[in-house]
Structure 1
Amino acid sequence: MNPGGRPQGEAEGAPAAPLTQDAGRLRGLGVGGATAAGPVARMAARPPEPSATARPGADPAQEAARAEAALRAVARELSRRAGVARDELDRPEAADILDAQALMAEDPSLLAGIGERTAAGLTAERAVFETFGHYRDMLAASGGYLADRVGDLDDLAARAVAAATGVPMPGVPDPPEPFVLVALDLAPADTALLDLAKVLALVTQEGGPTSHTAILARARGIPAVVGVAGALDLADGTPVLVDAAAGTVTANPTPRLLAAAAERNRARERAATATGPGRTADGVPISLLANIGGPGDVAAAVAAGAEGVGLFRTEFLYLGCTTPPTLETQVDAYRAVLDGFPGRRVVARTLDAGADKPLPFLPLGSEPNPALGVRGLRAFRGEYRELLDTQLAALAKAAEGAAAELWVMAPMIADENDAAWFAEQARAHGLRMVGAMIEVPSAALRAGPLLSQVDFVSLGTNDLTQYTLAADRMMGSLGALQSPWHPAVLRLIELTGTAGRSCGKPVGVCGEAAADPRLAPVLVGLGVTSLSMAPSAIPEVRAALAEHTLRQCRELARAALR
């Protein structure tokens, strides 16, 4: 029941006309521009909250042992899944996530907390539930990167409670026919082993455009709609049409609706076969670049036709380390990426860490609101400046004799003073192309003076959106406010694009907005000169730009601003 087979791309550059059937339609945030149809299969429900009433005659030592056994069972299952992901499915990144979850399940602090609660008379499952709840609240209050781990902790808690009570662990269903997966949200343990030959689309009741589900859908080219109120009310087996372009989920779609969706998918597939550099219909070049996390992502970016790298997240070298990576380690990793793009641009972002991405060797202390605290460049202007110096030195050494052209930019630049300081440090190490991230509204409002200090800027639309609308991008309940289509966000992008045009300097977008084929022409109309995205999104964005002249892009931008 999948119209036109698995969708591959999006031909339209402007928002698609919504398919019309109001009855039985649910709305959320669409990921991608494709459609798919099939029967609903819901995730297995998590076990109910364990009773807080003590079990008569319960032995605290036995309860503690039962809880510990449950956590060991969870850790073993996660490790097994990691092995499958790594050895059978060739998904090393998914395996790393699962291995990390397995380690979390065996964390001594968790066991200690459970022991205290069983000693106080709680049952094993209740002690597990309350201990995980304690850490969950701590992470949720931290915001930013740590808050994004709340879903992982919830998943661990549900699995451990299920194991302690002897019921099946929650997980992905496995019906015999292809299906639309509907869930509250998806955890890494769920998505790592998804059979993508059977999962036609993803629908979640929670989550926003930067949730784990959305990132997975974008990377794998699966249509998805997240933050759908009432999604879990859809019964198993209900036929639905998932329209990512319109952000809708329609139950019991009519034959006419399905036929229209099939034709749209066929048009997308035809458009996605185009190759070559990004250009508008009248030949204006728009560089289509890839977002990557390390050398392991190079092959996929090259295969997708990326014209270079617009966001190289260098923190992959730092996260999970107890000591800073050495200069030599960094040089080798950076050079491996540069060697993959001869004659192309590679934009490396310096370490984006701080209170919301804690590192053992960067003790910045606790903060009431880490998203607004010491992160990005702010973490390296004082006591820990040597970490930035080492990274800049490593980047400069890696660039020596490299076939690629290295550009370097810093995150969390607030204004031209931050930009001037970073540019001075980078140029002192011999780096030629120095830029700044525009993700703080003040940086966009001061784009002109800021650009006078650097050679280029790149808009991080994920953070720019959350700061502009005061809506934490990790909170699914605020998903409606996490849209880069908001006129206030577009206005800040326009201010930056206009400043770039005035001084003749490049303005890129490297946030999730760049991967939206409907938004891409609007961004170009606002003055953006390059778009960087997940490699899988490049073909449909290329096709969308080829459908519009620069004049049409500017007309779309004016309409969107209104």
Structure 2
Amino acid sequence: MEHTHVLNGTPVVGGHAYGPAIWPGERPVYDPSDAASVVEDEREVEIKRFTDAAAAVAGRLRERASHASGAAAEVLSATAGLAEDRGWIGAASGLIKKGTAAPAAAVAATEQFATMFTKLGGLMAERVTDLNDVRDRVVAELLGVAEPGVPEPAEPSVLLADDLAPADTAGLDPKKVTALVTRLGGPTSHTAIIARQLGIPCVVAVSGLGAVAAGTVVLVDGTAGTLEVDPDAGDAAARVEESRRMAELVADWRGPGVTGDGRPIAVLANVADGRSARSATAHPVEGVGLFRTELAFLDRADEPSVEEQTRLYREVLDAFEGQKVVIRTLDAGSDKPLKFVTQVEETNPALGVRGNRIADEHPEIRAAQLDAIAAAADGHQPTPWVMAPMIASATEAAEFAGEVRRRGLIAGVMIEVPAAAVLAESILAEVDFVSIGTNDLTQYTMAADRMSAELASLTDPWQPAVLTLIGGVARAGAVVDKPVGVCGEAAADPLLACVLVGLGVTSLSTAPAAAAAVGARLAEVTVDQCRAAAEAALATADPAAARAAATAALAAAPGS
């Protein structure tokens, strides 16, 4: 009997898409061992040829970033920064000085840095995909061949790939590329984040994907995390049509966030700067639940002045005048290093000096940032909320809250470390609110690198252990009557959003493009249904079972 061939992966963005599969264009074929040595009197010219190629690639990436917004602009700018990285360029130039041809030097220097990034783990390991992408673009430039990337499909198609670099995903047209499916990657990878921004179904960590040839008709179920190969055309069309119907409901949703029985649940936006904040105002969000302030600090040789920071923060506050804005203080450190701070090399940066811990050695950086936030907040209504990342104890929370309140601001902390979740009640006694960062909380709870494709099922926020910790934090918030938000990627999953509300979460902050889907889904359910879904999910043993149990509970009639 004929049966449908189904591949399983980790769901990232829900919905259905049906169409022919496409794969990214070929990466440049180049064998460094075939390259002849460069004679000594031509090596300076060869170095210039390499640096010109790297600059050309960086320029094109920055140009694309200037036409993008939000997460797409951020990751394109970060990739351009890799093409200009002094360490990488210096390593390649050093090899060329010894006679290595420019393309071979680009490959060898990338191998050096990829090995180092992989050993560091965490977010640094994620950058290997980005660095390899830069390498291929520079090699293509040196060889005079077409830059690699995603082809422009003739009809709506499903993009398959081993992995996708930010530069590939950031420029996609969601009308042409209707879903993303990758063999590697995790639920918080660049691919996943940009898929949410584009609002198209996405599944990652799909084993066996390489056997699906370009042109094969596939059906993607971004909610279940499956890829059906050569599905029944009638069934596929019906499922896509139902997805379209839901999409229309989402398109009509204007907010504010409220459950079907009238419980307000604020639906907020994650932003990174004034531009992304202004773009977010086009979506039905009620304010900002996470303003990532790193953009002012990363890839800079010197610390931004208080005046410069003030201008950046004011742009975001001005975009949301009269609405809630939650600002996260600098979340940088060993995995997102600051060039103007000398830090000891750490063997495990994900567990090192990052986030609020930087203030232990460099309190002046945090003090200047809080001064700038206070200056930007002068005259803004309502008063901004300010939270610190990587808080692990009530002592740390109290110290941070004191600094924030001295400046007339509302104090909170991120719950990302399991210790903070376990001690949530004592931490909430010291602050005015908490926000749960599910990306790191999941990584630390499951002891699994969130960028590892092999561990994608462990880094799924539907893990019952993670949901149990979130439930404990929410209960602690209810006891002391203080808000508990979620600002990690989990908040962008409409089904999981219902479970989070059932656990007691009071606000959800998402990529702006995901806000309407979350709000529309909450509008269809009651708080009792959400509680039933949460209880059902907590009673399971793995993410797939948790999703299925929550879906069944929400499908039941209220009170049944």
Shared fold per TM-score greater than 0.5 = yes
Which residue type is aligned with residue 306 of structure 2? L
Q: Which moved more, 1:141-150 or 1:502-511?
A: 141-150
Change beyond 3 A, Cα 1:22–1:337: farther
Pairing of 1:370-519 with structure 2 (within 5 A) = 370-381=349-360, 383-431=361-409, 433-519=410-496
Q: Which moved more, 1:91-100 or 1:130-139?
A: 91-100
Which residue type is aligned with residue 455 of structure 1? D
Q: Deviations over 1:284-342 (max 9, x none)?
A: 11111111111112233222121111111122221122222222222222222222223
Q: Deviations over 1:63-105 (max 9, x none)?
A: 775575355335324423543553xx45597567556545543
1:83 maps to which residue?
Answer: 63
- For residue 289 of structure 1, the aligned residue among 268, 272, 280 is 268
Which residue type is aligned with residue 290 of structure 1? A
User: Quick check: 2:329–2:389 contact (8 Å CA) kept in 1?
Assistant: yes
SS at match of 2:509: strand
User: Quick check: 2:424–2:476 contact (8 Å CA) kept in 1?
Assistant: yes
2:242 maps to which residue?
Answer: 264
- For residue 131 of structure 2, the aligned residue among 140, 153, 157 is 153
2:11 maps to which residue?
Answer: 30
Distance, in Å, in 1 between the alignment partners of 2:366 and 2:89 is 37
- For residue 258 of structure 2, the aligned residue among 270, 273, 279 is 279
User: Quick check: 2:57–2:138 contact (8 Å CA) kept in 1?
Assistant: no
Which residue type is aligned with residue 385 of structure 1? P
Which residue type is aligned with residue 275 of structure 1? R
Distance, in Å, in 1 between the alignment partners of 2:70 and 2:237 is 38
Distance, in Å, in 2 between the alignment partners of 1:439 and 1:103 is 28
Which residue type is aligned with residue 138 of structure 1? M
Change beyond 3 A, Cα 1:61–1:147: farther
Change beyond 3 A, Cα 1:251–1:327: same
Q: Are 1:235 and 2:216 matched, yes or no? A: no
- How far apart are 1:481 and its partner, in Å? 1.4
Q: Are 1:348 and 2:324 matched, yes or no? A: no
Give unpaired runs (5+ residues) of structure 2: 540-560
- How far apart are 1:277 and its partner, in Å? 1.2
Change beyond 3 A, Cα 1:274–1:58: closer
Q: Are 1:301 and 2:280 matched, yes or no? A: yes
1:314 maps to which residue?
Answer: 293
SS at match of 2:299: coil
SS at match of 2:281: helix
Give unpaired runs (5+ residues) of structure 1: 1-20
Change beyond 3 A, Cα 1:111–1:370: closer
User: Quick check: 1:78–1:189 contact (8 Å CA) kept in 2?
Assistant: no
Pairing of 1:173-188 with structure 2 (within 5 A) = 173-188=151-166
1:9 maps to which residue?
Answer: none
Which residue type is aligned with residue 33 of structure 1? G
> Which structure's relative contact order is higher, taking Cα pairs within 8 Å and 6+ residues apart?
1
- How far apart are 1:449 and its partner, in Å? 1.0
Q: Which moved more, 1:331-340 or 1:213-222?
A: 331-340
Distance, in Å, in 1 between the alignment partners of 2:84 and 2:277 is 34
- How far apart are 1:178 and its partner, in Å? 2.5
Change beyond 3 A, Cα 1:58–1:330: closer
- How far apart are 1:34 and its partner, in Å? 1.4
- How far apart are 1:127 and its partner, in Å? 2.9
Change beyond 3 A, Cα 1:192–1:63: farther
Distance, in Å, in 1 between the alignment partners of 2:12 and 2:448 is 19
2:307 maps to which residue?
Answer: 328
SS at match of 1:518: helix
- How far apart are 1:229 and its partner, in Å? 1.5
Change beyond 3 A, Cα 1:63–1:37: farther
User: Quick check: 1:49–1:129 contact (8 Å CA) kept in 2?
Assistant: no
- How far apart are 1:203 and its partner, in Å? 1.4
Distance, in Å, in 2 between the alignment partners of 1:119 and 1:329 is 40
Q: Are 1:367 and 2:346 matched, yes or no? A: yes
Change beyond 3 A, Cα 1:350–1:83: closer
Q: Are 1:45 and 2:37 matched, yes or no? A: no
Q: Deviations over 1:45-72 (max 9, x none)?
A: 33456254674x7646657755753553
What TM-score results when the alignment is normalised by the length of structure 2? 0.90
Q: Deviations over 1:237-281 (max 9, x none)?
A: 111111111111111110232133133223312321122211111
Q: Which moved more, 1:91-100 or 1:149-158?
A: 91-100
User: Quick check: 1:485–1:519 contact (8 Å CA) kept in 2?
Assistant: yes
Which residue type is aligned with residue 371 of structure 2? A
Distance, in Å, in 2 between the alignment partners of 1:330 and 1:103 is 21
- How far apart are 1:39 and its partner, in Å? 0.8
User: Quick check: 1:76–1:102 contact (8 Å CA) kept in 2?
Assistant: no
1:521 maps to which residue?
Answer: 498
Distance, in Å, in 1 between the alignment partners of 2:122 and 2:423 is 25
Distance, in Å, in 2 between the alignment partners of 1:254 and 1:464 is 40
Which residue type is aligned with residue 483 of structure 2? P
- For residue 150 of structure 2, the aligned residue among 172, 181, 185 is 172
1:7 maps to which residue?
Answer: none
- How far apart are 1:504 and its partner, in Å? 0.8
Distance, in Å, in 1 between the alignment partners of 2:413 and 2:76 is 34
Q: Deviations over 1:131-168 (max 9, x none)?
A: 11101112222233333322111112223334445554
Which residue type is aligned with residue 282 of structure 1? D
1:12 maps to which residue?
Answer: none
SS at match of 1:37: strand
Which residue type is aligned with residue 291 of structure 2? F
Distance, in Å, in 2 between the alignment partners of 1:528 and 1:49 is 52
User: Quick check: 2:253–2:284 contact (8 Å CA) kept in 1?
Assistant: no
CA RMSD in angstroms, aligned pairs only: 2.4
Change beyond 3 A, Cα 1:101–1:279: closer
Distance, in Å, in 2 between the alignment partners of 1:329 and 1:64 is 39
Q: Deviations over 1:345-395 (max 9, x none)?
A: 1111111111121112222221111110111111103x3111111222222
Distance, in Å, in 2 between the alignment partners of 1:203 and 1:296 is 29
Please list every run of at least 4 consecutive aligned residues from structure 1 whose deviation after the TM superposition is greater than 6 angstroms.
Answer: none
Distance, in Å, in 2 between the alignment partners of 1:553 and 1:314 is 33
Change beyond 3 A, Cα 1:112–1:353: closer
Change beyond 3 A, Cα 1:552–1:445: same
